[in-house]
Chains A and B, each alone.
Chain A
């Protein structure tokens, strides 16, 4: 089946640091999405990417749709304590269903 591998699995950083995480697949995707999930909550959409090479920002977040269409990365600049959570990438291929990545758990220390 289609697999999306995220790295790193977890990150422990200090407040103010920048963060980078990525998502790779053996299959091509037409859309890449990045979500954040807090404990006991549903995933919240952060950024959506629709074209290969696209670079999109949302506040301190920046994400890029890889040129090969098999990868994407998410950067968070100047991290703050409320950035804590699990970040999931998700891809869409032929249909509307989302294939989710394995997640990156982010911890931010003051």
Chain B
């Protein structure tokens, strides 16, 4: 089971500010996912990223969002100009050996005020 660490654990930001959420896998992975969960709701897919390219994205993942692998190990999710409705838990996830499972990080709680 792959392990992943997310930072920060909690971020409070003002509306309109940019935020960068980070995900660090314990071992090298080419493939990862970002999901989000608005408080009290279900987990929703945002984007999958393979070998430095977006392979799939949801309609939530609009132009305000971007993903990168800036230094070959970290994976980042950037929200350019945050809105109140971006407040949620954001999870990074890695596939398992079968590529049909996803193992989730602890999440970053983003609060936009």
Contact = CB atoms under 8 A, between A and B. Distances in A.
Q: Size band of the B side of the interface?
A: 20 to 34
Contacts of A45: 1, 96, 101-103
B101 A100 contact: no
A40 B109 contact: yes
A48 B58 CA distance: 23
Contact of A99 (B45, B89, B104): B45
Nearest to A3: B42
B42 A42 contact: no
SS class of chain A's interface: helix, strand, loop or mixed?
Answer: loop
Contacts of B55: 96
Interface of B: 1, 31, 33, 35, 42-45, 48, 55-56, 58, 89, 91, 93, 95-96, 98-107, 109
Interface of A: 30-31, 33, 35, 40-45, 48, 50, 88, 90, 92, 95-103
